[in-house]
Amino acid sequence: MPLENTSAERIAAIHAAQRDYFRSGATLPADFRRIMLRRLEQALRQWERRLCDALWQDLRKSPEEASLTELSIVQSEVRNHLRHLGRWMRPERRPSPLKLFPSASRILSEPLGTALIVSPWNYPVQLLLNPLVGAISAGCTAVLKPSPYTPHVSATLRAMIGEIYDERYVAVVEGNRDVNTLLLDRRWDLVFFTGSPELGRIVMAAAARHLTPVILELGGKSPCIVDRGADVETAARRIAWGKTLNAGQTCIAPDYLLLHESLADAFPAAYARALRRLHGDDARQSPHYVRLVNDRAFDRVASYLAQGTVRLGGRTDRAERYIEPTLLTEVDPLAPVMREEIFGPVLPVVPFRTTDEAVAFVTEREKPLALYYFGPEKSGREVLRRTSSGGACLNDTIMHIANEHLPFGGVGNSGMGRYHGRDSFDAFSHRRAVVETPTWIDPPFRYMPYKLFRYVKRIL
């Protein structure tokens, strides 16, 4: 299903209309923001079947997985913002030091303005609409740019958004990277981008021309450590689930496995059992096993199978873009499978002898978007203390993204900025410092010629 690029003229018209609409002040009242959030909440219910059908057509994502990983996350986010919006919008009082007497200080959260939200293809509903919740909540307008690699989802979202919002407020722009270039040439008040680190650099360079702030939700190679003392069966089940969710096409999927050498045989056997419970004897026949998004993605991920020894899985079908969940051992740390984000169901295994060795392996590489540790909690907390990542789970995978009360974001090469819950509201807001000073008294100490300055210095 080919998508038609939105024209440069139409992009210019939408951009100008949204800037005018924001300047009118229409988006500022709390009641307006609540109404717009409720429209989105209602639309997600009414369009659920059509969105699920589109996700199946583009990714072969089952309705259950679509609900679990896409729609429910956005719905929870909307409910959280509706519940707390009034409190988040209230001015925050701050103490004023004696040197500012008789002034009062506070922080006002004001919307940044017109936002551009660019989303990827792997979770095309969640990663487009979740940031939109923050934009609406903060009082911004938004232009949404879905991925062209999921054309059915893109068309469905365009229709849904067009039904519930005036395009002066929220609009969907479609097309390939030429459209991205047209969008990034314009001046926005915030660019929110989710994608690869390579594309993140392009976005940041474009935004720098206008000194536009950016939030970059990127990816990278998220390590998963299975240490001595781990519950191997539970670890295998949770890792298999996290790695095969969306066929591994998840920015926070376990990307490679650091496995204690004492578990070299026990873990693969447990992983095989976990996969059978999740997807049956043949994952190709499972209604819950997603396909690679396109031929190029299939070819890239399939090429990794030759970069180690296939311990488990390894079957492929290019016609279906199917790659079986695979454990890969005896991999070269310098091979592409250990340098590039895999974004597929291939899990390379690297043995280690001590926890110090595993920590060193992680810290010698770019900071990941997520880190997972399976083993004793005390050891896990020590690993967290000595490493850095956007988010983390101890004895679990993926689940930190499911808590709308936790911030989600990267660090270093895996991104900058964060969102979800209050952090989404803050992401699209400017926290404005305000000092209010009455006129009933005007202490002379700050004015030239600074009389009695030696006494004034004591309160500075």
| CA-based nearest residue to 362, from 344, 343, 385, 378 | 385
Q: Which of 66, 68, 73 is nearest to 404 (CA)?
A: 73
Residue pointed to by tokens 């004034």: 456
**Could you tell me if 158 and 148 are in contact, meaning their C-beta atoms sit under 8 angstroms apart?**
no
Work out the mean pLDDT of the chain and round it to a whole number: 96
Distance CA 368, CA 400 (A): 14
Residue 151 predicted with pLDDT over 80:
yes
More confident call, 207 vs 404: 207
**Residue 174 annotated as catalytic:** no
Summarised one tens digit per residue, pLDDT across range 299-332 is 999 999 999 999 999 999 999 999 999 999 999 9
Is 393 labeled as catalytic in the residue annotation? no
Which residue among 251, 341, 393, 404 is the active-site one? 251
Instruction: Flag whether pLDDT at 167 surpasses 80.
Output: yes
The proportion of the chain whose per-residue pLDDT surpasses 90, expressed as a percent, equals 93
Q: Given 70, 167, 174, 217, which residue is catalytic?
A: 217
pLDDT beyond 80 at 404:
yes
- pLDDT of residue 100 exceeding 90: no
pLDDT digit string, tens, across residues 8-23:
999 999 999 999 999 9
pLDDT digits (tens, 9 = 90+) for 232-275: 999 999 999 999 999 999 999 999 999 999 999 999 999 999 99
Share of the chain above pLDDT 70, in %: 100
